[in-house]
Chains A and B, each alone.
Chain A
Amino acid sequence: MDYIGKSVIRQEAWDKVSGKAKYTADDSSPGILHAKLVVSPYAHARIKSIKTEKASHVFGVRAVLAGERFPLTGEEIRDRPPLATERVRYHGEAVALVVADTPHLAKKAADLIEIEYEPLPVVNNPTEALKKDAPLVHEQLGTYQKEERVYPVPGTNIANQTKIRKGNMEKGWAESEVTVEEYFSFSPSDHAAMETRCSMCEIRSNGDVVITSSSQAPFMIKRLIHEYFEVDIGKVIVETPFVGGGYGGKASIQLELLAYLACKAAGGRKVKLLNSREEDILTSPVHIGLDARVRLGSTEEGEIKAAELLFLFDGGAYSDKAADLSKAAAADCTGPYDIDNVWCNSLCMYTNHPYAAPFRGFSHSELLFAIERTMDSLAEKLGMDRLLLRYKNAIKPGDTTPTQVPLNKSNVGNLPACIRRLKEIIDWDEGVAKDIGNNKIRAKGVSCIWKTSTIESDAGSGVILTFNPDGSINLMSGIIEIGTGTKTVLAQILAERMKMEISQIHVQMEVNTQSTPEHWKTVASRGTFLAGRAVLEAAEDVIRQLKNIASCVLRAKASDLTVAFGKVFLRDDPSIGIDVKDIAYGYTFPNGNAIGGQIIGRGHYNLRHLTHMNKETGAGKPGPEWSVGAQAVEVEFDKRDLTYRIIRAVSVVDIGTVLNEMAAKGQVMGAMSMGLSFGSRETFKFDEFGRVMNSQLRTYRPIRYSEHPDYVVDFVVTPQVDAAYGARGAGEHGILGMPAALGNALSIAAGVKLNELPLTPELIWRVKKKEGFSDAFI
Chain B
Amino acid sequence: MTAERSLSAVLNVNDEERAVHLKPTDTLLFVLREKLGLSGAKPGCLNGDCGACTVNIDGLAMKSCLMLAVESLNKKITTIEGLKGTPIQQAFVEHFAFQCGYCTPGFIMNCHAMLNTVPDANDDTIAEWLNSNICRCTGYQEIEGAVRSIVKKNQMNRKRP
Known: A17-B93, A18-B83. A704 touches B105 (CB 8 A): no
Q: Does A696 contact B (CB under 8 A)?
A: yes
- Judging by beta carbons under 8 Å apart, are A483 and B100 in contact? yes
Greatest chain B CB density within 10 A among A7, A192, A670 is at A670
Interface size on A, residues (CB 8 A): 57
- Could you tell me the distance in whole angstroms from the C-beta of B53 to the nearest C-beta in chain A? 11
A195 to B103, CA, bound (A): 8
The one of B49, B92, B108, B137 in contact with A697, judged by C-beta atoms closer than 8 angstroms, is B49
> What chain A residues lie within 8 Å of B52 (beta carbons)?
194
The one of B48, B50, B98 in contact with A16, judged by C-beta atoms closer than 8 angstroms, is B98
- Judging by beta carbons under 8 Å apart, are B103 and A194 in contact? yes
The one of B34, B102, B136, B140 in contact with A708, judged by C-beta atoms closer than 8 angstroms, is B140
Q: Does A711 contact B (CB under 8 A)?
A: yes
Known: A277-B45, A696-B45. A669 touches B138 (CB 8 A): yes
Q: Does B39 contact A (CB under 8 A)?
A: yes
Greatest chain A CB density within 10 A among B41, B102, B128 is at B102
- Could you tell me the distance in whole angstroms from the C-beta of A471 to the nearest C-beta in chain B? 26
Residues of A7-53 whose CB lies within 8 A of B: 7, 9-10, 12-23, 25-26, 28
- Judging by beta carbons under 8 Å apart, are B80 and A18 in contact? yes
- Judging by beta carbons under 8 Å apart, are B46 and A483 in contact? no
Q: Does B24 contact A (CB under 8 A)?
A: no
- Judging by beta carbons under 8 Å apart, are B96 and A244 in contact? no
The one of B42, B81, B93, B127 in contact with A194, judged by C-beta atoms closer than 8 angstroms, is B42
Q: Does A196 contact B (CB under 8 A)?
A: yes
The one of A193, A274, A663 in contact with B136, judged by C-beta atoms closer than 8 angstroms, is A193
The one of A17, A21, A243, A705 in contact with B130, judged by C-beta atoms closer than 8 angstroms, is A705
**Per-position binary interface string of chain A over residues 656-700, scored 1 when its CB falls under 8 Å from any chain B CB and 0 otherwise:** 000000110011011011100000000000000000000011100
Give the bracket for the number of chain B residues in contact with chain A: 35 or more
> What chain A residues lie within 8 Å of B40 (beta carbons)?
18-20
> What chain B residues lie within 8 Å of A706 (beta carbons)?
127-128, 130-131
Closest to B105 in A: A19
- Judging by beta carbons under 8 Å apart, are A195 and B100 in contact? yes
> What chain A residues lie within 8 Å of B102 (beta carbons)?
23, 193-195, 242, 244-245
> What chain B residues lie within 8 Å of A705 (beta carbons)?
126-127, 130-131, 133, 135, 140, 143-144
A20 to B39, CA, bound (A): 8
Residues of A481-527 whose CB lies within 8 A of B: 482-485
Residues of A703-721 whose CB lies within 8 A of B: 703-706, 708, 710-711
Q: Does A247 contact B (CB under 8 A)?
A: yes
> What chain A residues lie within 8 Å of B8 (beta carbons)?
none
Q: Does B75 contact A (CB under 8 A)?
A: no
> What chain A residues lie within 8 Å of B79 (beta carbons)?
19
Known: A7-B96, A697-B45. A28 touches B37 (CB 8 A): yes
Q: Does A276 contact B (CB under 8 A)?
A: yes
- Could you tell me the distance in whole angstroms from the C-beta of A734 to the nearest C-beta in chain B? 8
Residues of B54-102 whose CB lies within 8 A of A: 79-81, 83-84, 89, 92-94, 96, 98-102
Q: Does A5 contact B (CB under 8 A)?
A: no
- Judging by beta carbons under 8 Å apart, are B108 and A17 in contact? yes
- Judging by beta carbons under 8 Å apart, are A18 and B81 in contact? yes
Greatest chain B CB density within 10 A among A276, A483, A674 is at A483
The one of A196, A245, A711 in contact with B139, judged by C-beta atoms closer than 8 angstroms, is A711
Q: Does A702 contact B (CB under 8 A)?
A: yes
From DSSP, what is the main secondary structure of chain B's interface residues?
loop
- Could you tell me the distance in whole angstroms from the C-beta of A527 to the nearest C-beta in chain B? 13
> What chain A residues lie within 8 Å of B130 (beta carbons)?
704-706
- Judging by beta carbons under 8 Å apart, are B101 and A28 in contact? no
- Could you tell me the distance in whole angstroms from the C-beta of A142 to the nearest C-beta in chain B? 40
Closest to A671 in B: B139
The one of A9, A16, A697 in contact with B101, judged by C-beta atoms closer than 8 angstroms, is A16
A669 to B37, CA, bound (A): 34
> What chain B residues lie within 8 Å of A485 (beta carbons)?
99
A85 to B60, CA, bound (A): 49
The one of A15, A194, A196 in contact with B134, judged by C-beta atoms closer than 8 angstroms, is A194
A195 to B101, CA, bound (A): 10
- Could you tell me the distance in whole angstroms from the C-beta of A50 to the nearest C-beta in chain B? 27
Known: A9-B94, A26-B33. A673 touches B46 (CB 8 A): no
> What chain A residues lie within 8 Å of B104 (beta carbons)?
16-17
- Judging by beta carbons under 8 Å apart, are B99 and A28 in contact? no
- Judging by beta carbons under 8 Å apart, are A244 and B141 in contact? no
- Could you tell me the distance in whole angstroms from the C-beta of B16 to the nearest C-beta in chain A? 15
- Judging by beta carbons under 8 Å apart, are B136 and A697 in contact? no
Residues of B21-51 whose CB lies within 8 A of A: 25, 33-34, 37-50
- Judging by beta carbons under 8 Å apart, are B100 and A194 in contact? yes
The one of A15, A666, A708, A710 in contact with B99, judged by C-beta atoms closer than 8 angstroms, is A666
- Judging by beta carbons under 8 Å apart, are B140 and A673 in contact? yes
A273 to B142, CA, bound (A): 33
Closest to B102 in A: A244
- Could you tell me the distance in whole angstroms from the C-beta of A230 to the nearest C-beta in chain B? 34
> What chain A residues lie within 8 Å of B96 (beta carbons)?
7, 9-10, 662-663, 666
Greatest chain A CB density within 10 A among B46, B49, B52, B101 is at B101
Closest to A276 in B: B46
> What chain A residues lie within 8 Å of B45 (beta carbons)?
277, 696-697
- Could you tell me the distance in whole angstroms from the C-beta of A286 to the nearest C-beta in chain B? 15
> What chain B residues lie within 8 Å of A28 (beta carbons)?
33-34, 37, 39
Known: A17-B104, A194-B50, A662-B96. A25 touches B139 (CB 8 A): no
Known: A17-B93, A18-B83, A277-B45. A243 touches B39 (CB 8 A): no
- Judging by beta carbons under 8 Å apart, are B81 and A19 in contact? yes
Known: A673-B140, A697-B50, A705-B127. A12 touches B101 (CB 8 A): yes
- Judging by beta carbons under 8 Å apart, are A245 and B108 in contact? no
- Could you tell me the distance in whole angstroms from the C-beta of A589 to the nearest C-beta in chain B? 45
Closest to A281 in B: B45
> What chain A residues lie within 8 Å of B44 (beta carbons)?
194-196, 277, 697
A192 to B89, CA, bound (A): 25
- Judging by beta carbons under 8 Å apart, are A673 and B139 in contact? yes
> What chain B residues lie within 8 Å of A704 (beta carbons)?
130-131, 133-134, 140
- Judging by beta carbons under 8 Å apart, are B100 and A18 in contact? no
> What chain A residues lie within 8 Å of B43 (beta carbons)?
25, 196, 274
- Judging by beta carbons under 8 Å apart, are B100 and A244 in contact? yes
- Judging by beta carbons under 8 Å apart, are B139 and A670 in contact? yes
- Could you tell me the distance in whole angstroms from the C-beta of A490 to the nearest C-beta in chain B? 16
- Judging by beta carbons under 8 Å apart, are B141 and A9 in contact? no
> What chain A residues lie within 8 Å of B128 (beta carbons)?
706
A21 to B40, CA, bound (A): 8
> What chain A residues lie within 8 Å of B99 (beta carbons)?
245, 483-485, 666-667, 670
The one of B38, B94, B100 in contact with A243, judged by C-beta atoms closer than 8 angstroms, is B100
- Could you tell me the distance in whole angstroms from the C-beta of A17 to the nearest C-beta in chain B? 4
- Could you tell me the distance in whole angstroms from the C-beta of B7 to the nearest C-beta in chain A? 16
The one of B38, B50, B93 in contact with A19, judged by C-beta atoms closer than 8 angstroms, is B38
A672 to B40, CA, bound (A): 28
> What chain B residues lie within 8 Å of A662 (beta carbons)?
96
> What chain A residues lie within 8 Å of B41 (beta carbons)?
19
A17 to B128, CA, bound (A): 22
Add 17 more A-B contacts to A277-B44, A702-B134, A705-B143 (CB < 8 A): A14-B93, A17-B104, A17-B105, A18-B84, A19-B105, A26-B33, A193-B100, A194-B44, A195-B42, A244-B101, A277-B47, A666-B96, A697-B44, A697-B45, A698-B49, A704-B133, A704-B134
Q: Which residues of A contact B (CB under 8 A)?
A: 7, 9-10, 12-23, 25-26, 28, 104, 192-196, 242-247, 274, 276-277, 482-485, 662-663, 666-667, 669-670, 672-674, 696-698, 702-706, 708, 710-711
25 contacts between A and B (CB under 8 A): A7-B96, A14-B93, A18-B81, A18-B84, A19-B79, A20-B40, A26-B33, A28-B39, A194-B42, A194-B100, A194-B135, A276-B46, A662-B96, A666-B139, A669-B138, A672-B139, A696-B45, A696-B49, A697-B45, A697-B47, A704-B131, A705-B131, A705-B135, A705-B143, A706-B130
Closest 6 CB pairs of A and B: A19-B40, A244-B102, A483-B100, A16-B101, A483-B99, A669-B139
